[in-house]
Amino acid sequence: MSKAKRVFCAAIAAVMLLVCATGCSAPKLYLGGTPDVAATINGVEMSTGEYLAYLYTTFTDLYYNQGLYQYDNAEAYGYDIWTQTYPYGEGDAAQQLELADYMIAATKDNIIRQTVLEAMLKENGLTWDAKEQEEVEKELKEQLTPDAFLELGISNEHFAKVYRATGLNDSSLFYGLYREGGKRAMSEADRRAYFDKNYLSFKIINVPMMSSDNQEYTEEEQKKVLNDLDKYLQNYNKDGNFEAVVDAYNKANAADGQEITASTDKDNRYNYDATQLGDDELVKAIRSVEVGKAKVVTYKSGGTNLTAALILRLDINKPANLFADETDNIIRGAKYEEFNKEVQEAMKKVTAEFDSSAIDKCDPKNFLTVAE
């Protein structure tokens, strides 16, 4: 499991613990009359408590980690996030679901996905990655307190089970198959070819050229931004110190009283797989700069927002250890899509029955009752 994934899991636990700290006076979500069994997956029963742990994982990801909580004020924003519809699924099969239904659908899919991943781990003779499991167990030990989630209707046992599954199943299976020694190990030659084709190293100063009402700057305003960046480019060409350029830019644009700490090469250098960068226009802008050179460019960030940038494009072979350091990211960029399609196809073959009575009573909006 990647460091980012571990941080994500830790964030879920941290928020859950914060919510549970509201005290015993909060109403319990595990309502009387709720069926003990929420689902039967491939003939195996899943308790309502375990289902709730999965549901809360989905709720926390969307509501807290992805920031929906910031807009959960209908009076301030003129709409209610819980009655807004969100597309779930792909292409023509996508459904427009209200947020609670979206969370429930995502939870069901996650439960089915974990079932498939666990089966594939067993089929391939793989277990959880030992180092990653050690870190996950450490996180659980640090964050779990006795009966930490009972106010949510979730036992520590169920929470820990879901925490381990969502944190370890996917990465352990994927890297167990594709790392060196795995049944589908990606050769060094193939990794090198992928690295040479797709990796970009660069340093950048980005300046959006959009007004507060989302309109592009006038020609005069654009010219001023580009002229300013040209001056920074001239300074870089004079002494070859991009860190000094970044520091000068930051100081010139700092708020009153804000202290600016000198930046380092590590602070300013970005190493990215272009297929994973998420902005095709930025990729084109970077590729328009010769390796080892700096250039002022303009591009439409995300395809829409006019942006100016001073870009220094760096050699991906310097430092020489970058290729080795990026091994897992290279494998993920090259192979995860095909792996994910395989998992999704296997998910279609899972027999899953969810108890509608249990699902209806486990409304994700109830989690906010405890939080408040």
Which H helix or E strand runs over 169?
Answer: helix 156-178
d(C-alpha 236, C-alpha 313), whole Å: 13
Contacts of 144 (CB under 8 A, 6+ apart): 13, 156, 159, 160
- DSSP letters, 7-32, are HHHHHHHHHHHHHHTT-TTSPPSS-T
Helices marked H in 43-92 — which ranges? 48-60, 74-77
Determine phi and psi for 311, rounding to 5 degrees.
-120, 130
pLDDT of residue 10: 38
Give strand pairing partners of 310.
205, 296
Cα separation, 53 vs 100, in Å, equals 15
pTM here is 0.85
DSSP state of 129: -
pLDDT tens for 328-359 read: 999 999 999 999 999 999 999 999 999 999 99
- SS3 of residue 270 by DSSP: strand
In the beta sheet, which residues pair with residue 37? Answer: 47
What per-residue confidence (pLDDT) applies to 27? Answer: 36
Residue 189, C-beta contacts closer than 8 angstroms, at least 6 positions apart: none
What distance in Å separates the CA atoms of residue 166 and residue 271, rounded to the nearest whole number? Answer: 27
Q: Identify whether the C-beta of residue 266 lies closer than 8 Å to the C-beta of residue 325.
A: no
Mean pLDDT of the chain: 90
Averaged pLDDT for residues 163-176: 98
Instruction: For 311-362, give the secondary structure using H, E and C.
Output: EEEECCCCCCCHHHHCHHHHHHHHHHHHHHHHHHHHHCCCCEEECHHHHHHC
- The answer to whether residue 142 scores a pLDDT higher than 60 is yes
Distance CA 178, CA 204 (A): 33
Rounded to whole angstroms, the Cα distance separating 187 from 259 reads 47
Looking only at the bridges linking them, the beta strands covering 270-273 and 199-208 are antiparallel
Give the pLDDT band (50/70/90) at residue 126: very high
